[in-house]
Structures are given as C-alpha cells and as structure tokens.
Structure 1
Amino acid sequence: MSQPRPGTRDRRAMLLEAVRDGSGGIAELAEEFGVSESTIRRDLASLAGAGHVVRTYGGALDTERSPREKDRENATAKEAIARQAAALVRDGEVVLLDAGTTTGRLARHLAHREGLTVVTNGVTAIRELAGFAGIDLIVLGGRLRHPNEAILGESVLAQLRHISPDRVFLGADGLVPSRGLCCPSLEQSVVKHAMLHAGAEAYVLADHSKLDQAPFSYWTPLDREYRLITDEPTIDAVYPPFAESVIVGDEHETVGGAAHHGRRGS
C-alpha cells in the first residue's frame, strides 16, 4: 500500500531540506515528491518569499545563509576590511552602512567613536551600535528581509532621497567588474543602487571569496566612482579590473595604519 502524499506544509519543509542537500532541478524535485513541476515552482516561490531559498545565477537553487553563518566564513579577512574602512571615517561624518556581516563588523569598529551619525538598513549594524550614546543612529524603516536581516522596501528608498552621507559602505555577496554587485533579491539590488548614489564617497567591502563571483541572479550596477576595500594582496595581478581603485586591508595593521590606495571610474 502506497504512502499518502505529504501535505503542502510538510512537502515544503522536505523540499527545503532537499535543496539544502543539493537537489536543485525542478524536474528532479517534482519526480522525487510525486507532484507536478508547476507545484514545485509554487512551493519554491513560497520558500523564496519567506527567505529560505533563492534562485541562483544560472538557474540553480540554493539556500541563503544566515548572517551568523556568513560571519564565520573568512572572519579574519572581514575584520581586516572592517578595520581599514573604519580608518577612513572622520569624526563628525554621516555614514551610511548597508546590511551585511562585514558592514556589521565595521559598525563595531565605529561604536566607540564620538559625534558620528550612522544611517543603516542592517540589523547587524543596529545591534552593534544601539547601546552607544556617542553614535547618532538612524534606522531606515521598511520590511525586514530574512535570512540576511536587511530592511528593504519603498519606504527605505524614499528615506534615502532625504540624506546625503559623507561615506557609503556597501556589502557584497559577489562582485563582477562587468555587472557590479550580485544580490540575492531584486529588491535588495535596487536599495543598494540607491545607497551607492546617495553619498559623497562610495566603498564596496568584499573579501577575496566574493571577487569575480556571481551566486545570485540580481545586480547592482557600479555606475559611479567607488573604491573597493578587500583583503586580496595580489589583486593587481589576479583581478586587474579592480586594481585601479583598491584599498587592501592588512589583518595585522591598526586602525590608523597605512593602506594601498587607488581610484578608478566604473
């Protein structure tokens, strides 16, 4: 006697586990669960809407990791990048921080400063800065996206039109010279683009694992002058398109330490 098919909720829970285990094809998943491909697509759309699964670059399926999972990867590199970024910020400036783990580490380095205004849509940065009276913390209000804990939406875009920060620091899931920043959702790519153009100086924080990588299908064009802050010491040779506008963070340097500086137009 055949087993009854699982209900929608149970099927979607099992589908999420299957995607996490690497079963990514629509037809394969439909056969495995004994339903139509259109049912699998609806299930995946529901999981994507809840932030549990993403359609990656090239059409594959993957599960998006939480900030805690991401922060454990390349932690030393992220710390060096955050420290170097903090060294650029001057007292009294208005700073805009994107959501992300490296920008969250940057927030930690700024927390003990005095007279800074920090505007952010990232829950990680909010946690790092909320308890420090010397920081004027402005939280961009909107819808909280899981699992990366970014605040997004039309209300965020509307608020960005009213600020002109001295510096903008953007995080990255991937960075490709010809396309820009790779993002897990269209909504997030639009918010990042508005942030990029909001400030006087723009920076992208990306460790070596993000360079020339495209894990998702949505893009923020880097269509203005910006600087890349990375930990890749051989970036001139390995990634020539980035070489003209790079600041390399040294994992051993202090906040006031020197760095290799360059500029490029995008």
Structure 2
Amino acid sequence: MNASTRRAAIRDLLRTRPVGVDELAVRFDVTASTIRRDLAMLTEAGEIVRTYGGALAPGGDEQPLHERETMAGVEKAAIAREAEKHIEPGQLLFFDAGTTVGALAARLTGWRGISVASTGLTTINALADAEGVELIALGGVVRHISQGTVGPLTELALTRLTADAVYLSGDGVTAERGVCEASAEQAAVKRRLIEQAAAVFVLADASKLGRAGSHWWTPLPARWTLITDASATEQQLAPFHALPGVTVVVAEG
C-alpha cells in the first residue's frame, strides 16, 4: 500500500471512531513515525484533528447513543466489571448518561441494598425491574441523541441529593481539562453531579483518553479515579499518572 492510499484509508477509518498511533501502525504494518507523518499531513490538509496519542475526524455531528452502544463493546464490558468492584452495599450512587455507565448499570440488576440516581435513560431502563436497587430518575429535558436528562430541573434535583460516588463518562477526558461533552447543558449537569458526590469515577475506554473533540468541559476535582481498558498505552496514561490525586485503574480484558 502506497502512502497516498494509506492516508486515505486512515482518513476513512477516523470517520468511524478515534484511533491511536500504535493501533494504526499495527493495522497498516508501518512504524509509528510513519503514522505520525501521515497524521501530520492529514491534519495540515484539514482532513483530521490530532489528539494526544492519535487522531479523530474533524467536527461532525454528535453520534446517537444507539450507534455508540455498538462501539468498543468488549472494552466497555471490562471497564464495567472493574467499576463494579468499587461499589459497596448501602451506597447511594450517581450514574451519568452514557453507554459505558449503562454497561455498569446492567451489572447491578442482581444487587440489593444500593440506591442509584441517574440522568441516563440507559441506566434507568437497565435497573427499572431491579427490585433490590432503589432507582431515582433525575428528571429534566431529555436530549434524544444522548438519552440523558439536562437543564434546570435536573440541576435543581441535584441540589437536594448527595451521593457516595458518581460514575461519569464523556466524549473525551484529558488530564489538563477534565471531561468534554457536546453541549453546555451536559457539562453543567456533570459539574453538579461532581459537586454533590464524595468520590468521582470516570469510565473511559482508551479511545477517549486525551480526546478533546468536543468543546464543553467539566473540570475534575483534585482526587478522582480513572477506569480504562487494557488497550490504553503508556503514552495515553502518562498525563493521568502525573497527577498526584488521580488513581488510574486499567481493567483486564
């Protein structure tokens, strides 16, 4: 495969999902340096956007939740298994909207003696018949594309409630800025969830690490836990390891 064909293939792949340098190097059987040169040329041409350790397609519409549910399923399942280990009976938990958090919720259907308050319809649907789980639906305006509630009603409800922990996801997470989302309303709800929770867990597969493709940010507190999957590279994890208050947990596949 010549360079021109390879770059076209890289561009087409990035239209489906963010991809890291190491994965591209293996996929196209070239060195990481060659991939970095390809990405630099595609970036200069305005065809892609570079991220920490990889790249993604520029702009584009936010992906509907039902499309995201089919992506990185194995990785999300591993993250959900690891996240479940941090939950204890008697806790009240906040669950954000999102497919990875939804995968965690699906693991809790047999639990008893916990409470889950959620802005995500995925979580609410997963736990609707779980008789041992007290389920609290945090109402508000439903964003159809993300299947999550946002707005003043959601934020008002969160002023009346505190949690032992919050489990968050997002379009991307960076060590410098926190979690990014597609809208100001989503970022605002995340901020309120964090403010009202004693502990913060961010569930993000490797494709989300260092990704800054969305423009609305929720800063994370000094102490929080990142749970990611085993495909995350040392280069991706290094900025998080460098933060003294951040615990990084890599879920085994």
Give the TM-score of the pair, scaled to structure 1: 0.69
Q: Do the aligned partners of 2:205 and 2:232 also contact (CA within 8 Å) in 1?
A: no
Are residues 153 and 238 of structure 1, via their aligned partners in 2, closer, same or farther at CA, if it must alter by over 3 Å? Answer: closer
Aligned residues: 194
Q: Which of residues 221, 225, 228 is equivalent to 1:227?
A: 225
Alignment partners' CA distance in 2, 1:104 and 1:161:
23
Kindly state the Cα deviation for residue 198 of structure 1 after the two structures are TM-superposed. 1.2
Secondary structure in structure 2 of the residue aligned to 1:62 = coil
Higher-Rg structure is: 1
Alignment partners' CA distance in 2, 1:206 and 1:186:
20
Aligned pairs for 1:1-20 within 5 A: none
Are residues 196 and 235 of structure 1, via their aligned partners in 2, closer, same or farther at CA, if it must alter by over 3 Å? Answer: farther
Q: Which of residues 240, 244, 251 is equivalent to 1:249?
A: 251
Q: Do the aligned partners of 1:197 and 1:224 also contact (CA within 8 Å) in 2?
A: no
Q: Counterpart in 1 of 2:48?
A: none
Kindly state the Cα deviation for residue 223 of structure 1 after the two structures are TM-superposed. 3.1
Q: Counterpart in 2 of 1:69?
A: 67
Q: Counterpart in 1 of 2:186?
A: 188
Indicate the structure with greater strand content: 2
Alignment partners' CA distance in 2, 1:107 and 1:234:
23
Q: Counterpart in 1 of 2:118?
A: 120
Alignment partners' CA distance in 1, 2:135 and 2:229:
28
Alignment partners' CA distance in 2, 1:121 and 1:234:
28
Q: Which amino acid in 2 is paired with 1:241?
A: P
Q: Which amino acid in 2 is paired with 1:187?
A: E
Kindly state the Cα deviation for residue 235 of structure 1 after the two structures are TM-superposed. 4.7
- Per-residue CA shift, 1:112-166, capped at 9, x if unaligned? 1001100000000011000111110000010001201110111111111111111
Structure 1: tracts of 5 or more residues without a match = 1-21, 23-56, 252-266
Q: Which amino acid in 2 is paired with 1:185?
A: S
- Per-residue CA shift, 1:193-229, capped at 9, x if unaligned? 1111211111000000000001211111113311000
Q: Which amino acid in 2 is paired with 1:71?
A: E
Alignment partners' CA distance in 2, 1:238 and 1:174:
12
Q: Which of residues 74, 79, 82 is equivalent to 1:81?
A: 79
Q: Counterpart in 2 of 1:15?
A: none
Kindly state the Cα deviation for residue 61 of structure 1 after the two structures are TM-superposed. 3.9
Q: Do the aligned partners of 2:210 and 2:236 also contact (CA within 8 Å) in 1?
A: no
Q: Counterpart in 2 of 1:264?
A: none
Q: Which of residues 143, 146, 160 is equivalent to 1:145?
A: 143
Q: Which amino acid in 2 is paired with 1:175?
A: V
Q: Do the aligned partners of 1:236 and 1:242 also contact (CA within 8 Å) in 2?
A: no
What's the % identity of the aligned pairs? 36
Q: Do the aligned partners of 1:235 and 1:242 also contact (CA within 8 Å) in 2?
A: no
Alignment RMSD (CA, Å): 1.7
Q: Which amino acid in 2 is paired with 1:186?
A: A
Q: Counterpart in 2 of 1:99?
A: 97
Secondary structure in structure 2 of the residue aligned to 1:88 = coil
Secondary structure in structure 2 of the residue aligned to 1:102 = helix
